[in-house]
Each structure stands twice: as C-alpha cells, then as structure tokens.
Structure 1
Amino acid sequence: MNIQEKKIFISQLTAGQQLQDVFLVAKKSLADTRAGKPYLAMTLMDRTGEIEVRVWENAQQYDALIEEGDYALVQAVVKPFRDQLQMTVTSLRKVDETAVDLASFLRTSTRPAAEMHAALDAVIGSITDPALQQLLQTIFQGEVLQKFQRAPAAKKLHHAYIGGLMEHTLSIVGMADKVADHYPLIDRDMLIAGALVHDLAKIEEFDYSKPAFQYTDRGRLVGHLVMGVDIVRRAAGQVPAITDDQLDRLLHMILSHHGQYGFGSPVLPMTPEAILLHYLDDMDAKMQYMESLCVKMDGNSWQWTDYQRHLERYLYLRACGAAQEEGAEQAEDIPDPAASSPAEPVRQPREKSSLAHRQQSLF
C-alpha cells in the first residue's frame, strides 16, 4: 500500500488557506445547532499540534464514517476565530493507518534520546548510597528502560510527546541537584531517587504506541502513583541492602508528589524531600506548559493568552517563535461556535462543576 505523504502541518496553516491533507482525529462529537441541525465538532492533530474543526454539512454521515483515533483525508478551508485558526471541512474520508507515516503524527522530544540516556546513567552513578544506587540500577534496565525512553509525561498538557517522560524527569533531577546543595536538611540521594521514579509508572499508565495518546485500562483504574509503588517495591525485593525506612520514604514520595488529596495523592508530602519534589514537579510541568504556549504565538512581543482553565487565569507571555514546527500541544479552549457560523448559532458546551474544575491539574 502506498504511503499517503503529508504535505502541510498544522503549525503551517494560515487563514484563508484551502487544503487537502491527512490528519489524525483526536476528538469527535456530534451535536445540534439551536435550529436542530446536526453538526460535527472535531479536533484534528499532527505532530505539530491540534486544530478545532467543524463539519456543518452531512454531519451524521461523516460521524458514522470516522472514529476517534482514525486518520482522515480532509478537504477544508482554514478560518480565523478569536485569534486562533479553525477549519471548516467540506469533505473527509477515512485513511487506513498502514497508509500513513506515523512520524508525521507522533511528536518527539527535541532532546536527543542518546543524550538523555547518558544523563540518566550519570545521575544514577552519582548516588552515593549503595543500596539506593543498586535499586535504581535494578529498575532502569531492560523493558522498563526502553519504555521510559519513549513514554510521554502526560496525555496532553505538558511533555506530551515521545521521550517527554524522560525529559521531564531529568529536568526535575537537574533542579533537585541544585536545590539539595542549598538546603542542608535535604537527603540528596533520596531526593534524586524520588525524582527519578515519581512518574515512572506512566510507562504503563499511557498507551503511546500511536497518536493520540490514551490511558490504558489499568492506568485509568489504578493510576501511576499506585502503579509506581508496585514497580519500585518489586525491584526492592531484589535489593536486600535497602532498608524498610529507605523504601518507605521513597514510596512516600511517589504517593505524595501530587501534593493534594484533590489532585490524587492518597497522602500529603510529609518529609522535606517529598515536599520539595512536589514543588519541583509542579514547577517543571507549568513552565513547560507555558513554553508550549509561547511557541505558538506570533511575533516577539508580550501577549495575553486565552483563559487557561487548568491554571484558572490568563497568562501574559512573550512570544518565542511560532514558526517552530515542533510546537507543543495546543492548550484546550472552548470556542464560541456561534461566532464561527453566525447563520447557525449552536449550543455552548456545558460548564464543569466547580469541584471538577478545581480538581484539574497538570500532573
């Protein structure tokens, strides 16, 4: 079967552009306008980002034709909408996944994998406690290491690309190493070990074999905090030198690193290393998220973003080069469909409850 070569990426789209190209259907929902006419709301993606799409004609037919996770050959017109671009689709058809180049749709860390692997080895080699070093060497090998090198750190919001988990982890380790020197009460080896394993179970929480990333059944039912404890505890069974106290303190860092009950931690951080890890993790996630917003801005000036629901605020950021093709995942924002089609005003999406809203995080 011939590979359907992708000619244009989302980061290259401009207002008024007419196109026909292949995109991945990341989201899809059928809704009705106020006049009762069905329309199809979709999110399309490639390796450079996402774009909102509306299908006003033959919506039910296309809804039955295409599913989330499918590839589609899309004919559309790009239109501006509230300082963002949307596509109005005139036709689409399903494309077999064997006919697309997966590299066009899977974003990858810009940091070379070999460089990160060498950095990981160096960090583990810097651990002075023999038992903790042996535990980390036992964990980061074989299949676990292979998955760790490929896994994303999140489904969508931060480091959501192949190699993102390793990049995020090493970023936290770098900060942890500096901060440990600043505070004498910190056990540097324990902090570094906790930073290395805090998100490790995301290798099993997500299915990242193809875009768009999804949760595995076990990942959704159990979650990476509990799954991470399982991975570390199994490895600890092969390291007789590790003490119960060391293991408990390390597992506590995994279970508490989200920092709040409302964000999924079953316990609050209660050691200096656990408290510090929580703040470093939160900081790195937010900084990378904001960097991804800067990349998509035009020009080189300070600008206001759309309202960021996960952070409950607008952000004032300086653009850092929207022309970069490998821009990060686009932050979610609810568009006003009525403005995109004045002749056919549509129902606004329902607001989430305040409790659900406040329980969102970047983790």
Structure 2
Amino acid sequence: MKDFFIADAPRFENAAVTSYFVLSSLQIRDRRTGGQFLSVTLTDKTGSMPAVMWDDFQESITPCSEGCYVKVQGQISRYQNKFQMALQRLRFAAETEIDPADYLPMTHFDIDAMWEELRGYVLNFANADLRRLVFAFLDDPEIAAAYRVAPAAKILHHAWIGGLLEHVVTLVRVCLATAPFYPEVDPDLLVTGAILHDIGKIRELHWKSSFGYTLEGQLIGHINIAQGMLADKFRQLDPFPQKLRVLVEHMILSHHGKYEFGSPKLPMTPEALLLNTLDDLEAKMQTLRNAFASAAAQGRGAGEVTDWVRSMERPLFNSRAYLTEGATPEEDITAAAGERTVDEPVVREDAVEEPGVVTEPAGGSLFD
C-alpha cells in the first residue's frame, strides 16, 4: 500500500522511492538528441509531480492510460525549484492494490454540515418561486449526490472532492455579506445564481481516480450544460414566472464575465454583475492560498514571491506571513478559516527537462 506521498518529496530529495500513484497525464515526447522519452504526471491526494522515463518504457505503458493507477520506482530530484521524478520502473497497478482515499484530495470541511448550511440559506428565501427552483435541484437525488462530492475544477481552484460545494457555500456567504451594500441587488436572486452558476460541473467533470473532463464537458461545457438543466427544471415547475426564468438564466450564461472567458453573454443586471465579480474573487483567493501552500512546501521564506501563477498571470506574495515572520504565536495573525495546506497540482508541459544521468539506486528492489 502507499507509504510515500507527493507532499513527502522535500524529505526524499535525491533519494529513490517506490510508491503508487494515479497517472493523470501521459505523453511520449521526442528527445533533443534523438529518440523518445515518456513524460507523465503522477498524482495523489497531496498534489502532483512530473516524472520522466528515458528508456524501455513502451512495454511498461501498454496497459496504462490517463486515470489508471500505477506503481513506480524512481529518484526524486529538484529542477527549477520544483520536484520531479526520474523513473526506472513503471507498471500498471490493479485497484485491489490501492486505497482510493489516498489519491483524491478532499475538502477539509464537513460535507454534511456544508450541505445543511446551503439548504438553510434557501429556506430563508422570501421569494417562494426561487426557493422551489433551487430545491428542485438540491432535492433531486442524482444531482444532490454529485453536487456534494464534485470538485470545482480539474486543476485550478477547489480541485478536490467536495470542492464545488465548498466553493458555493463560501460564495453564498460572501454574496449575503455584500448584497446589503447594493440596494439594486435582489439577495434571493443573487444567492440563486451563486448556488446554480456551476451546477453544470457535476456533468462536466469526472472524479473517480483523478479529476478530468467528461466527453460532455469537453464538447458542451458546464455553462451550456447548466442551461439545459435549468430548462428541465423550469418544465417540471411549470408554471414558473417568465421574468425570474430570464434573470436566473442570464446569471448562469454571464457568470464568467467576458466572452474570452467562455461567457455567452456579458453581465447586464446588478445580480449578474455582482455574481461574476464575487465568483471571480472567491476563486482567485483560493488560487492564492494554493500558491502560498506550494511555496511553503518548497521551503521558500516569507520574503519570497511564489512561482508564476499561470491562471493569474503573475507571481504572488504572502503579506501575512511576511508581516508575522518571527512573531510569537500571540502576535501572529489568526489564520483564515479553511486555509488549505495541500499543494495544488499545477504542472506545465515544459516543466521537465532532461536531467543528467540518474544512476540505479543501490540495494534490492521492493517494486514487484
């Protein structure tokens, strides 16, 4: 069973390890000096690590594909301040050899408690039509089962089991705290949009052994999937007020904010504009937390910026850690509730270069 996790890499730098992982990406690439090599991404619940296999890999990967479990033997090294593994051996691993709980990261919060909190917000709606619309989703057994455990993304913010629910509950809290400052906004309509804006992700994503996109997700996308799900519920709830139907649908279609970000429409109502702004903020803050956790795992000091964060097109800087460096616990600033310490898997395709020759580790093999 698994006894080495991605998060353990700093303690095993330049050491040989043998462990199980999910193969979350697999590519055969051309070497600059001729020939080919295998480039993969190894994933477990603590993060992801790029790995390469230079020789004799064709037979090893024959039964493998993205999302399968593998057992590998390799040497940990650091390149451009990121850990990677040079593989000597790789084989397919049967599900009987692994514990699925080792491979998918999970929310740090109680899913049942978050679910009841979300339902409580809907129970407090003054608008009965919006209440019955949202409960048409939350009371649907198939939708509810997926909504409770789905990730919010494959790699970016809230990419863990329960991530979608965690993201939505946090977003609803922020919406309710913000709405009183803007009398133009209908709070029930805003919260309806917050709860339903990403509902299509329960069909856009899969999360069995790793996170990825379904065929429906790749061909249609979660915004269009959500529009179809809304249409189904409106038919079930007929008669439903036409004005509310249009406003709810507009929030779904515009919540990405810009055409280039995949929004079929730009936000045109107060609720749609606020939903887009707060949704973007909530996602960015989680991305920021992930970047800080990754920097800490790499051993970076409080006065250093993070690596370049591709989704935000900039490095980031942990001002709280910088201000409290060397402070006593009494002087430290209280950590934000829900801050994660698990490194988010962010792997660039060009992150692995051919290292120097890796020698075979001494001693016997525990691989088989």
* Structure 1 segment 1-363 matched on structure 2, within 5 A: 5-14=1-10, 15-141=13-139, 142-208=141-207, 210-240=208-238, 242-298=240-296, 301-317=302-318, 327-335=342-350, 337-338=352-353, 340-342=354-356
> Which deviates more from structure 2 when the two are superposed, residues 324-333 or residues 103-112?
324-333
> Which deviates more from structure 2 when the two are superposed, residues 74-83 or residues 230-239?
230-239
Q: Would you say how many aligned residue pairs link Structure 1 and Structure 2?
A: 336
> Whole-Å Cα distance in 2 between the matches of residues 191 and 239 of structure 1?
20
What amino acid is the match of 1:55? Answer: M
1:24-47: CA deviation from partner (whole Å, max 9, x where unpaired): 111111112211032111110001
Of all paired residues, the percent bearing the same amino acid is 32
1:260, 1:268 within 8 Å by CA — same for their partners in 2? yes
1:294, 1:319 within 8 Å by CA — same for their partners in 2? no
> Which deviates more from structure 2 when the two are superposed, residues 231-240 or residues 214-223?
231-240
1:199-218: CA deviation from partner (whole Å, max 9, x where unpaired): 0111111112x122221111
The aligned counterpart of 1:349 is none
Runs of 4+ in structure 1 over 6 Å off: none
Secondary structure, in 3 states, of the residue corresponding to 1:88?
strand
> Whole-Å Cα distance in 2 between the matches of residues 157 and 69 of structure 1?
18
Q: 1:238 to 1:70 in 2, by over 3 A?
A: closer
- How far apart are 1:66 and its partner, in Å? 2.9
- How far apart are 1:80 and its partner, in Å? 1.2
What amino acid is the match of 2:345? Answer: Q
The aligned counterpart of 1:350 is none
Secondary structure, in 3 states, of the residue corresponding to 2:311?
coil
- How far apart are 1:183 and its partner, in Å? 0.7
What amino acid is the match of 1:192? Answer: V
1:175-227: CA deviation from partner (whole Å, max 9, x where unpaired): 1101111111111110011111000111111112x122221111211111111
- How far apart are 1:268 and its partner, in Å? 0.8
| Aligned Cα root-mean-square deviation (Å) | 2.1
Unaligned ranges ≥5, structure 2: 322-334, 359-368
The aligned counterpart of 2:324 is none
What amino acid is the match of 1:139? Answer: F
What amino acid is the match of 1:204? Answer: R
> Whole-Å Cα distance in 2 between the matches of residues 325 and 198 of structure 1?
24
Q: 1:296 to 1:306 in 2, by over 3 A?
A: closer
> Whole-Å Cα distance in 2 between the matches of residues 155 and 128 of structure 1?
35
1:317-342: CA deviation from partner (whole Å, max 9, x where unpaired): 36979xx996142223355544x525
Unaligned ranges ≥5, structure 1: 345-363
What amino acid is the match of 1:160? Answer: A
> Whole-Å Cα distance in 2 between the matches of residues 188 and 83 of structure 1?
46
> Whole-Å Cα distance in 2 between the matches of residues 204 and 145 of structure 1?
12
Secondary structure, in 3 states, of the residue corresponding to 1:288?
helix
> Whole-Å Cα distance in 1 between the matches of residues 161 and 316 of structure 2?
27
1:336-355: CA deviation from partner (whole Å, max 9, x where unpaired): 544x52579xxxxxxxxxxx
1:3-54: CA deviation from partner (whole Å, max 9, x where unpaired): xx11111101231222111111111111122110321111100011000101
Q: Scaled by the length of structure 1, what TM-score is found?
A: 0.87
2:289, 2:340 within 8 Å by CA — same for their partners in 1? no
2:69, 2:93 within 8 Å by CA — same for their partners in 1? yes
> Whole-Å Cα distance in 2 between the matches of residues 219 and 147 of structure 1?
15
> Whole-Å Cα distance in 1 between the matches of residues 318 and 60 of structure 2?
39
Secondary structure, in 3 states, of the residue corresponding to 1:237?
helix
1:11, 1:325 within 8 Å by CA — same for their partners in 2? no
What amino acid is the match of 1:309? Answer: R
1:131, 1:241 within 8 Å by CA — same for their partners in 2? no
> Whole-Å Cα distance in 1 between the matches of residues 157 and 57 of structure 2?
32
